[in-house]
Structure 1
Amino acid sequence: MEVVVGCYEQVAFGFSVHPSDEDDGLWKLEPTFTHHGHTASLTAVSVGTKYLATGSRDETIKLYDLTKRVEYGELQEHEGTITCLEFFGDHHLLSGAEDGNICLWGVKSWECVKTLHAHKGRVTSFSVHPSGKLALSVGSDKTLRTWNLMKGRSAFVKNIKQIADLVLWSPKGDFYIVSRNNQVDVYKVETASVVWTFSIPVRISSVRFITESIVGVCGDYEKIHLYDVQKQVCMCEFKAHDSRVKALHSSYWHGIHILLSASNDGYIKLWNIDLSHLEAVPVLLGEVNTTARLTCLTVHMSADAAQSLDSSSAKGRKRKKIKREEDVEHLEKMAVEMSEDCTAKTMPSQADAQVFSKCFKGQSKVKRKVKISSND
C-alpha cells in the first residue's frame, strides 16, 4: 500500500506502508517519491490502477504513471481551481472545478469524452455510484444533482437550503451522504429520503465510509468521529492530531480496516478500526511527519493487493451487481422527493443530451514524460 498526499507547498508525496513484525510495533511509512509538478497548492488527488491524478489551484490536472514512476502529462480543460477528482475502474477519470463543469476523461486516450455542465458556480464534490452508471454532484448553486453516466445527462436536480460541501456513496450503494457546514444528512437509496442527520461542533472537512455502515468524519479541529449510520449512533470520537484534520481515507489491508488521516501540521496517521470494539479509541498503527501543510489524501494499492481483494470478494460480486442494478433502476424511476424541507424537480439538460460525443481538442494528449524525484 502506498499513501499519496498533496499540500499547500505545491508538492505531491508518496509513502510506502510496511507493517511491523512485532505485535506492538508501529508500522513504517517510508518515502517513495516527491514531485513538484504544480504552480499552486494541490486541491485533489486520486489514484487508479496505474495512474495518479493531482488537481490544483493552477487549473491543471497532472498525470503520473506509478508503475514507471514518470510524469505522464497534464490535462487542461477546466477554467478555475480543480475541486475534485475520481478514477472509476480502469477506464475513466472524472474531474470537477470552479467553472461548474464535470469532465469525463478516457484513460486510454486521455481525451475529454464528455463535459457535463453541472452547476451554476463551482462543483464542490461528486461521487460515482458503485455500478458506474450514476453519479451525484453538489455545487455552490445549492443543488444536488443526479447524473445518468450511461446517457451523459442530468437525471434529477434537488434544491437544498445550504451549499453542500461533500457528497459520497457508500461502498455498496445502499446509502449516500451529503455534508453541509457541520452537518451530515444520510440518505437511504431504498426510500430516497433522509433517514438520519447528525452534526459535529465544527465545519466538516472530510467524510469517509469505512464499511457500508461505519463512517469516519473529521473537521476543523483535532478530533475524528466514528458513526454507525444503520444504528444511527456515534460510536466513538477521539483526538487524532494536534492540528485540524484535513482529509480521511479508508482501506482494508492485511485483514485490517484502516482509517488514514492527514492533518494541517503535516502528519499522516494510520488507525486500526476494530469493528468489534468501535466504542474504543482506535489503535494507532503508524505515522509520519511530512512537515508540509497537507490538503488531500489517497491510497494506491499494488496490483497484487488489488487482485487479492478482488478474489476475496468474488463470491458475492454477482449478488451485489444485481442489487446495484436494482438500486439504479429504483433511483432513475423516483421523482426524488427526498425530504420535507427541500424541493425536488426533474431537469433534463439539452446541453448534456449528446452521449459522450464531445472530444477534447486541447492539451489532453501526453506531451512529456518526466522522472519523478525518487526517495528510494
Structure 2
Amino acid sequence: MSLIAGSYEKFLWGFKLKPQNTDPNSKTLTLIPLFSYPSHLSAITSVATAGPAAASGGSDDTIQLYDLSHATSVGSLNDHAATVTALSFFAPPNLSVPLNLVSGDADGTFCIYEADPFVLLKSLKPHRKAINDLSLHPSGKLALTVGKDECLAMINLVRGRRSFYCRLGKEASLVDFNGSGDKFYLATEEKVTVHEAEDAKLVCEMENPKRVLCAEPGENGLLFTGGEDRGITAWDTNTGKVAYHIEDAHSTRVKGIVVLKSSSGDVDNEDPYLVASGSSDGVIRVWDVRMAVKDNKPNPLAEANTKSRLTCLAGSSLKSFKQPQVGKRVQKEKHDAAKDGK
C-alpha cells in the first residue's frame, strides 16, 4: 500500500506501508519513506492515486504526474489556467492502472484526460465559480462536481458535457460516491447529507460537531469523516448515526482520510481494515478501525511526521515496486482487455 501527501511547502511526500520485520507475529506496521519532491512552484492543493500512477495539483495551475512503481516524476499537464482544486483517476476493476484522469480548478473548468498517454480529451466549464470537489462514478461514465457557485453538476464523461445542474442553497465543499455508486455524499460546513444517485433524493443527514474537511467512503455503508474536531468519525449512512469515533486522532485538524484495503504483497491478508489520516501539523497515522469500536482513543498502528503543513492525502494498493513503467503497463493491459473482449 502506498500513500502520498501534499503540503503548503510545495513538497509531495510518498510512503509505503509495510509490516515491521522485528516480530513475525506482530501486527505492527511502519510507514517507509519513498520520496519527497518539491513538485510545484506553490502549495499543493490536491492529490490522487490509482495503482502505480499518481498525480498532484497545485496553486501553480499545473498537474504533476508520477510513477510510484519507480518513485519518479514522469511529467506535467498545463491545461488549467487556475489553481487545480480536485483530481481523480478512473481505473476499471479488470485493470491495475487507470484509464482516465479528471480534474477541476478554481476557474470552474473541468478537464478529462486519457491516462496513456496523458492527453487532454475534453475541457468544459460546468460551474461559474471554482470547483471545490469532484467524484467519479464507479462505472467511469459520469462525475459529480460541487462549486463555490453553491451548485451541484453532473458531467457525462462519455459525451464530454454537463448533463445536470442544480442549486444547493449552500456551498458544498465535498462530494463523493459510495463504493457501489447508488448513493453520493455532500459535505456542507458541519453537515453531511446522503443522497440517492438516481434522483438525488435525500436519504439522511449527519451533523458533525465542527466543520468537515475530508471524507472517504468505506465498506458496508460506512463513511469516514475528519476535520476541525481533530477526530475521525465512522458514520453508518443507512441510519445516519455514528458507528464509532476516534477521539483526538491528531493534535490539529484532519486534512485527509484514506481507506486502505489489504492486497497480497503489501501487508498480511489477515490484517484488519485500515484507515490512514493526515493532519495540518504534518503527521500521517494509520489506524486499525476494529480497535476504535472498543476504544475511542486507540493507538495508531503506524505514524510518520513530514514536518510540513499537509493539505491533502491519497493512497492505493501497489503489490510491487518492481513493475514496468506506467505507460507500458497501461498499453499491455489495454491490449489484453481488448483481446479478451472486455
TM-score, structure 2 normalization: 0.84
- Aligned partner of 1:290 in structure 2 is 306
Matches within 5 A, 1:244-283: 244-253=253-262, 254-255=269-270, 256-274=272-290, 278=293, 280-281=295-296
- Aligned partner of 1:145 in structure 2 is 153
Distance 1:110 1:190 in 2: 31
Matches within 5 A, 1:126-205: 126-189=134-197, 192-205=200-213
CA contact (8 A) 1:171 1:212 kept: no
- Match of 2:209, SS? coil
Report the alpha carbon displacement of residue 229 of structure 1 after superposing the two structures with TM.
0.5
- Match of 1:243, SS? coil
Report the alpha carbon displacement of residue 236 of structure 1 after superposing the two structures with TM.
2.0
Q: Percent identity?
A: 31
Mark the CA change 1:127 to 1:22 in structure 2 (over 3 Å): closer, same or farther. same
Distance 1:279 1:205 in 2: 25
Q: Is 1:208 the equivalent of 2:216?
A: yes
Distance 2:165 2:220 in 1: 25
Mark the CA change 1:191 to 1:100 in structure 2 (over 3 Å): closer, same or farther. closer
TM-score, structure 1 normalization: 0.77
Greater mean alpha carbon deviation, residues 229-238 or residues 27-36: 229-238
Aligned residue identity for 2:188: R
CA contact (8 A) 2:86 2:133 kept: yes
Report the alpha carbon displacement of residue 211 of structure 1 after superposing the two structures with TM.
1.2
- Aligned partner of 1:242 in structure 2 is 251
Residue 238 of structure 2, aligned match among 230, 233, 236: 230
- Match of 1:222, SS? coil
- Aligned partner of 1:72 in structure 2 is 74
Aligned residue identity for 1:125: D
CA contact (8 A) 1:138 1:164 kept: yes
How well do the aligned residues superpose, as a CA RMSD in angstroms? 1.9
Structure number, greater radius of gyration: 1
CA contact (8 A) 1:257 1:273 kept: yes
CA contact (8 A) 2:260 2:316 kept: no
Distance 1:136 1:278 in 2: 32
- Match of 1:111, SS? strand
Higher relative contact order (CA 8 A, sep 6+): 1
- Match of 1:132, SS? coil
Unmatched 5+ stretches in structure 2: 92-97, 263-268, 322-342
